[in-house]
Every structure is written in structure tokens, then in C-alpha cells.
Amino acid sequence: MTASRALPAPHVPPLDLGGRTALVTGAAGGIGRACALRLAAAGAKVRAVDRDAEGLEALAEGARGLGGTVEPHVLDLTDLDAAELAAAGTDVLVNNAGLQLVRPIEEFPPDVFHTVLTVMLEAPFRLIRGALPHMYGQGWGRVVNVSSVHGLRASAYKSAYVAAKHGLEGLSKTTALEGAPHGVTSNCVNPGYVRTPLVERQIADQARAHGIPEERVLSEVLLQDSAVKRLIEPEEVAEAVAYLCGPRASFVTGTSLVLDGGWTAH
């Protein structure tokens, strides 16, 4: 019997977004920062949007150290007209900005519910609306919506966040259907709990809502339904986003790329 020959590994060129402009919201920290740095490293000129001016400057400095280009754009996404204008001329749009409050529905402040839906659903609609004319005009575009496992599953005490993420899933699919004839893809990335300040700030609220000590929140609440018992890192999410922005994902649209450690396998 002759020994089988090992096939040569296929040559996979690195992601090249040279000449492309990408807009990332919530870019000053967490997932947004990781996405901005990853896309800048791939050659994109990144328009980094956030309310945190200092965080954006630190991001831009970090990108320069990696040889990338990040342009800070201080913007409050509750200014919907400004959000739509900021997206004009972008080739890649990453809707990432988010906020969270953990409260029972009967105690949930209506003004906070309104703000969460504005930032996490209405602003992405306006950003997509602002970006599509340029994308359609050139016959190419990528929309990536950083959703969540909570876009597919609900959790108690997160009415605004869950409602916004479920709405974002529908918006993303509609964008995919409308964008397909124009070479534009639209997808969601759905991580479980990510090691970010947003998640860290939830721990006290979760402990209070569930009536348990803070040190038990990670294992008994956040990771209870995950088969992989750890937080996912922002860089892992950014890599999934980068894949969806690249040429090899041209047939991937209208779907949700789930990074939940097996949560939705139940």
C-alpha cells in the first residue's frame, strides 16, 4: 500500500480592504474598538464613531501604532440626522454601539427603554439608510450588525436590549433582501457574553435582580446556558466581523453568525 500524499495547504490571501472606508459605531471600547483595529489592519480607512472623545483618540493612536488609519468622529447616536449623514460614502458599515440596563419590566424606566431602542435600532436604520446610496452606486457594500445571542433568545430583566436586538435581526434581513441585487450583503454577528465594560457593569444589576451575590453572577447567570464556560474576547468577535466584510463572504447574506459557546444549541 502506497502512502497517501499530503495535499498542499491552500493559499488564502489576507483580508485586503485597501481603498475602502469603514464606519464602526461604539468604537471607543470593547467590540467596537476591536473591530475598528481589525478593519484598519486590513487596510480600510476607519471612521470611528462614539460619544467618548478620549477613547476615540486612544483608538486612533493605537491604530497608528499598527500602521492603520482611524478617523475619530465624536457623535451621540441619539442625534439620528447626524448619524445618517455620518454614514454617507462608507463601503463597510458596522453597527455595534449599545447600552444595557437590567431591570424588571415593571421597574424599567420608559425613558431608558426609548433611548436603548433609539441607539440600538433606530440609529442602525438611519446609518444603513445613509450608507446604501453609495454602496448601491458602486455595486458593493458590507453591512454587519453586531447583534447578540439576545437577538435570538430572551433573558429576563432585559426588555429593552432584547427588543432592540430582535428588531436589529429583522432590519438586517430586510437590508439583505433589498441589497442583494446591488452587491450589498447584510448580516448579524451574535456573540454571547463578551469581556467588555458593558458586561462587567451588568454584574451588580444582575446580582440585585436575581437576588444572588455578585461573585455568583458569572457562573449562575451569564454563563449558565453556555456550553463553553468562558467569556468571548472582543478580538474573536472582530474576526467574525472581518470575515463578513471580505470578498469570500459575498454569498453570505441575511443570516446570523452565532458565537455563543453553544448557548442556542439547547
- Contacts (Cβ under 8 Å, ≥6 apart) of 171: 121, 124, 125, 128, 145
Cβ atoms within 10 Å of 167's Cβ, excluding its own: 18
Per-residue cell: 120 = 440600538
Residue 80: φ, ψ to 5°: -65, -35
Cβ atoms within 10 Å of 226's Cβ, excluding its own: 20
Q: How far is CA 136 from the centre of its chain?
A: 22
H-helix or E-strand containing 46? strand 45-50
Residue-by-residue DSSP string for 185-236: EEEEEEESSBSSHHHHTHHHHHHHHHTS-GGGHIIIIITTT-SS-SPBPHHH
Q: Where are the alpha helices (DSSP H) in the chain?
A: 30-41, 53-65, 80-86, 110-117, 123-138, 159-179, 197-200, 202-210, 217, 234-245
Per-residue cell: 106 = 415593571
Which residue in 136, 157, 161, 193 is the catalytic one? 161
Residue 161 is a catalytic residue = yes
Residues noted as catalytic: 161
